[in-house]
Chains A and B, each alone.
Chain A
Amino acid sequence: MSTSTMSRPGISAPASPLKRRRSARSGGFASSFTVNALLILGCAYMVLPVVWLLFASTKNTADLYGTAAYAFGQPAFFDNVAAVLNQDGGVFLRWMANSMFYAAFGAVFGGLISVLAGYAFDKFQFRGKDSFFGIVLVGVLIPNTATVLPMYLLASVFGITNTVWAILIPVLCNPFGVYLARVYSAAYVPAETLEAARVDGAGPIRSFFSLGLPMMMPGYVTIALFQFVGVWNNFMLPLVMLQDQKLLPVSVGISIWQGYALPQPEFTPMVITGSLLSIIPLLVAFILLQRFWKSGLTAGSVK
């Protein structure tokens, strides 16, 4: 079922351009104008706040309040960047590195754990399979924030709050990734190939690493990408777990600066420029990996 949904757009795609062009002609100029104008309007709503951030990051405190929002003041972009990078002995770069480390760790290892489990659910027969998969689905449905405080309470019993472990262990757990991996395994890894490998004498572990995993690689990348974004965007978990400024990810770090900016307005350009710098890695990842996040969204909506 998942396979057919994923391949259907590909099959229908070659036929559609012709038909589209024909109906576009019959639709007439008025409806074409309305549809595209509405699309542009919608995109403007999505893009303009980010564009504002771009403009605002080029201004100093006085211009921020003094000049029009979508105009340039005294060029201060590089001063702002320098201020962001030099504050508190370069703590911003430390935050970025922390975010990168937490997110990459969750993406690579959490992704692999999910792929292993999803592959097992798809390819192996074992007792209680449905109940185990039911547990995974319950995990998907529990909101993250509802488990953050319980996690903190438990972590403080073991004394690992305010250490990297308080972040690294939770980010390995990705039930939705298991669900996605099962869909990908069914779509990408034909049972015949595994059967052939078995006949040739390869054990299940060997055939996973030399056949299953390479075939599921696009799925692994997608799951890892989603996990990366999820960890990078997470706010409540690090806010609750970490106190040491040196361990914070960039999201919590900037929110601390935002707190400073109320009594000290000179922090405002730093909050804005820091925000801009912190979204660049994700923007780049999304633009480069478009193919993967689209396939992930499709697979996720299959069931």
Chain B
Amino acid sequence: MVTQVPSVRGTKRPGSRKQRPMSGTGGRTAALFLTPFFAVFAVAMVAPVIYAVVLSFFAQQKSGLGFSEAKTSFVGLENYLQVLQSESFVGGIGRLALYCAIYIPCMVGGALAFALLLDAAVARARKLFQLLVFLPHAVPGVIAALIWAYLYTPGVSPIVSALESGGVAVNFLDHQMILPSIVNIAVWEWTGYNVIILFTALQAVPREILEAARVDGAGEIRSALSIKLPLILPALSVIMLFTVIGTLQLFTEPSIISKATASVTSTWVPNMWAYDAAFNRHNLNQAAAASIIIALMAAVLSWAVTRFSSRTNKA
């Protein structure tokens, strides 16, 4: 789509004098249009990351009794080693991995199922369902976490009391349940958003193919699984990519929930660990190293997902 543009421009007036100054100033005009973005990008992304890399190689060393000013000295990879050897940081990564393992199948599977149902020929009131399912996305993460924190709290929660009257005693906020409980908040926030993406992709499936399958005797379920699903794989892989990046951001929900239960510690996930390092332990160098490690993990993961999904799309 992009490559078409120059060829149109080029073929219209081959060799005319007017065209050369245009392509000559193309670079300068493009620079004019691109400068604001790259200036902001440099200030808000590149410079902070570079500064964090620099900081992560240094450490503040307090002299014996702490009377004099702390000295800053170069320590190489010492901060990275400390972060990676910290039990709470590694525990946080493990927790995050477990969170991904539960969250991604639940959310993507749920979104896919809902989108296929919505696209089924017998579904009614599609517009209303789309609007309702998207509703949680208009609720900020903080508020979503707050609502669910109340819905998990015995005494206030209709869910807990309903389960109790049914003879089931569940504490959503204890050590075993806290991870699934937080997964549920994220599923609630993000499923609807992805339903809309998948449903739009489903709408683009040519109706003739589905009609042909129906004539050949394929039922709704059969055509959903063997025709619609393969055709929306590209949309699914985009969702996977953004979901993986999104899970690494996990911070808001556990920090809100941590005020409601002791099961979530202040270093529960890597982002909280980095925040805690900066603002509670006042070790900015370690916080910088932790941030860089998180960014690197994101880079590796999104590279892996893109590689994997481009291979499955080609196959």
Contact = CB atoms under 8 A, between A and B. Distances in A.
A35 B123 contact: yes
B30 interface: yes
Interface stretch (A73-81, A83-91, A149-157, A216-224): A149-157
A47 B135 CA distance: 7
A31 B252 CA distance: 40
Interface of A: 1-3, 5, 8-9, 12-13, 15-16, 19-20, 23-24, 27, 31-32, 35-36, 38-39, 42-43, 45-47, 49-50, 52-53, 56, 64-65, 68-70, 110, 113-114, 116-117, 119-127, 129, 132, 135-136, 138-139, 141-154, 157, 169-170, 172-173, 175, 178, 182, 186, 191-192, 195, 198-199, 204-205, 208, 229, 232-233, 235-236, 240, 251-252, 254-255, 258-259, 262, 271-272, 275, 278-279, 282-283, 285-287, 290, 293-294, 297-298, 300-301, 303
B65 interface: no
Contacts of A271: 146
A43 B137 CA distance: 13
B245 A143 contact: yes
B279 to A, nearest CB: 8
Given A31-B220, A142-B298, A146-B271, 17 more contacts: A46-B192, A47-B135, A49-B144, A69-B161, A114-B37, A120-B29, A132-B38, A135-B41, A145-B251, A154-B48, A169-B40, A186-B2, A205-B29, A258-B259, A271-B146, A294-B196, A301-B197
Contacts of A65: 155-156
B315 interface: no
Contact of B256 (A142, A144, A255): A255
Interface in B28-80: 29-34, 36-38, 40-41, 43-45, 47-49, 51-52, 55
A143 B23 contact: no
A64 B103 CA distance: 31
B136 A50 contact: yes
A169 B48 CA distance: 12
Contacts of A139: 41, 45
B99 interface: no
Q: Ordered nearest first, which 6 A-B pairs have the shortest CB separation?
A: A69-B158, A150-B52, A120-B33, A150-B48, A117-B37, A32-B122
A150 B1 contact: no
Contacts of B287: 149, 153
Contacts of A204: 25, 29
B200 interface: yes
- Give the residue among A113, A143, A169, A258 with the most B Cβ atoms within 10 A: A143
A19 B211 CA distance: 8
Interface stretch (B6-14, B81-89, B167-175): B6-14
B8 A191 contact: yes
Given A141-B302, A150-B51, A271-B146, A262 B259 contact: yes
B243 to A, nearest CB: 12
A113 B197 contact: no
Contacts of A205: 29, 32
27 contacts: A1-B1, A8-B206, A9-B204, A27-B122, A36-B122, A39-B118, A43-B132, A116-B33, A121-B2, A136-B41, A142-B45, A146-B294, A146-B298, A147-B48, A147-B295, A150-B49, A154-B51, A173-B37, A186-B2, A195-B9, A275-B146, A279-B143, A282-B138, A286-B134, A293-B134, A300-B197, A301-B201
Nearest to A157: B51
A301 B51 contact: no
Contacts, number: 320
Given A127-B27, A146-B298, A149-B274, A297 B200 contact: yes
Identify the interface centre among B118, B150, B299: most chain A CB within 10 Å of its CB.
Answer: B150
Give the dominant DSSP class at A's interface. helix
B70 to A, nearest CB: 16
A142 B149 CA distance: 29
Contacts of B197: 297-298, 300-301
Given A32-B122, A117-B33, A175-B41, A153 B302 contact: no
A232 B44 contact: no
Contacts of B22: 198
Interface in B232-265: 234-235, 238-239, 241, 245-246, 248-249, 251-252, 255-256, 259
B98 interface: no
Nearest to A21: B121
B271 A236 contact: yes
B40 A294 contact: no
A279 B294 contact: no
B210 to A, nearest CB: 8
A182 B147 CA distance: 38
Contacts of B91: none
Interface in B175-220: 188, 191-193, 196-197, 200-201, 203-204, 206-207, 211, 214, 220
Interface string B141-157: 11110111111000111
Contacts of B284: 153
A147 B196 CA distance: 29
Contacts of B151: 49, 52
B139 A143 contact: no
Contacts of B55: 153
Contacts of A286: 134, 137-138
